[in-house]
Amino acid sequence: MTPQGPPMAYRFLLRLASFVCPDHARAAWRQQWESGLRDWWILAERGELTNEASALAARFCRGAWADALELRFRREQLLHALRGPWFPILCAVSTVATAGLLSHGFQVIRRVAGLIRHAPPLPLNLRPHIHYDPRGDIVAAYLAPLGLALLIAVMLLVISRLPVRASGWRTWVHFVLKTLAVQAAVIVLWFEGGSALRSVIQSEALRILGGGLVLAILFIAGFGAATRWCISDQRRRCPVCLRLLDMPVSVGSWGSVFEPATTELLCAVGHGSLSLSERDNTGPDRWTALDASWRELFENASSPEAR
């Protein structure tokens, strides 16, 4: 029997991965991985590989994709992008946009907004209602958890140790945009995702308890956690370039009063260092700006020739 060669699907996956590689390395990369796949497939046809051939081929292609992505986006470049000011905002906006597409333009949010807009005015007399209107329950089921979640978020912001006066306007604009985007993503996931989940639950009791009550509690907890994360993320950002600070070093100890536990962080570009207080009662975080002469040192350290 003449050897057939690797299946078309795997060769296609390798060819596709080769386009992820940078131009200068593409030809050599493709030759190396295609030859590897051919050699490996010969072994599979001879029966020298004990595991299922297709599963091994899939693993081989996964390795090729990981290698191509590594070549295209070096770890440092990837970390550089992940630490940038726009990454969390971009993730949150993408989540909102995806949820909007999947829910045909925020169907549930529009429906609840419509119910609020067209709600009948409250009766002036205190006579009990003769007709029960379930629309009021729907609005309350969404607005009550939302109100509670917003209240918790406001409380978290009030007790947060974000330096209100010391931070520049750039920090605040970034913080407000990021927090609004992340909170909007959590709200949209709860409204649209929760409704989609309830639509597939058959049992009414489970739908009300699991899809309604438990999900509302999870939403309130998630909203609080998201807000807390936004505050914590902002504390760890450089006030000049808004990038996440790097190179954490722990100083002091939890038991010491004179030298409390703090984490020292540095801006990778050389704008300054931050002494982040780990305990609640040890005062605000301390930012020390470095002058321009330090920046040269950081630039030299991060240049490719220095590595």
Decide: is 290 part of the binding site for Zn ion (CB under 5 A).
Answer: no
Contact pick of 241, 275, 286, 290 for Zn ion (by CB under 5 A): 241
**Please, what is the minimum distance in Å from the beta carbon of residue 303 to Zn ion?**
17
Structure tokens at 288: 């020390």
Q: Report residue 201 as tokens.
A: 């639950």
CB nearer to Zn ion: pick between 170 and 279 = 170
Q: Which stretch binds Zn ion (CB under 5 A): 32-40, 145-153, 184-192, 240-248?
A: 240-248
Q: Is 269 in the site for Zn ion (CB under 5 A)?
A: yes
Q: Say whether residue 271 binds Zn ion (CB under 5 A).
A: yes
Burial 217-231 (b: 16+ CB within 10 A, else e): eebbebbbebbeebb
The residue within the footprint of Zn ion, chosen from 58, 139, 240, 290 (CB under 5 A), is 240
Q: Are 210 and 140 in contact (CB under 8 A)?
A: no
CB nearer Zn ion, residue 174 or residue 271: 271
The least distance separating Zn ion from the CB of residue 218, rounded to whole angstroms, comes to 36
Which residue, judged by CB position, is nearest to Zn ion in the bound state? 238
Binding-site size for Zn ion (CB under 5 A) equals: 6
Q: Which of 265, 267, 274, 276 binds Zn ion (CB under 5 A)?
A: 267
Give the sign of the dihedral formed by CA 33, CA 35, CA 40, CA 41: positive
Distance (Å, whole) CA 274 – CA 289? 9
* Long-range contacts of 274-281, Cβ-Cβ distance < 8 Å, separation of 24 or more: 274/236, 274/238, 274/245, 275/251, 276/235, 276/236, 277/161, 278/254, 279/254, 280/161
In angstroms, give the least distance from the CB of 83 to Zn ion.
Answer: 10
Of the candidates 135, 109, 107, which has an alpha carbon nearest to the alpha carbon of residue 120? 135
Q: 72 — phi, psi (to 5°)?
A: -70, -50
The rounded distance, in Å, linking the Cα atoms of 198 and 195 is 5
CB of 52 to Zn ion, least distance (A): 51
- Of 273, 232, 287, 278, nearest to 252 (Cα)? 278
Q: How far is residue 304's CA from residue 82's CA, in Å, rounded to a whole number?
A: 19
Residue 108 interacting with Zn ion (CB under 5 A): no
Q: By CB under 5 A, which span of 148-156, 199-207, 236-244, 279-287 interacts with Zn ion? A: 236-244
Sheet holding 286-289, edge to edge: 246-251, 262-266, 272-277, 286-289
- Which is closer to Zn ion, CB of 215 or CB of 242? 242
Kindly tell me which of 215 and 238 has the beta carbon lying closer to Zn ion: 238
- Residue 269 Cβ, how far from Zn ion at the closest point, in Å? 5
Q: How far is the CB of 92 from Zn ion (least distance, A)?
A: 22
Question: If binding is defined by CB under 5 A, does position 178 make contact with Zn ion?
Answer: no
Nearer to Zn ion, 149 or 267 (CB): 267
Figure out which of the listed residues 64, 109, 149, 238 binds Zn ion, where binding follows CB under 5 A: 238
User: Which residues contribute to the site for Zn ion (CB under 5 A)?
Assistant: 238, 240-241, 267, 269, 271
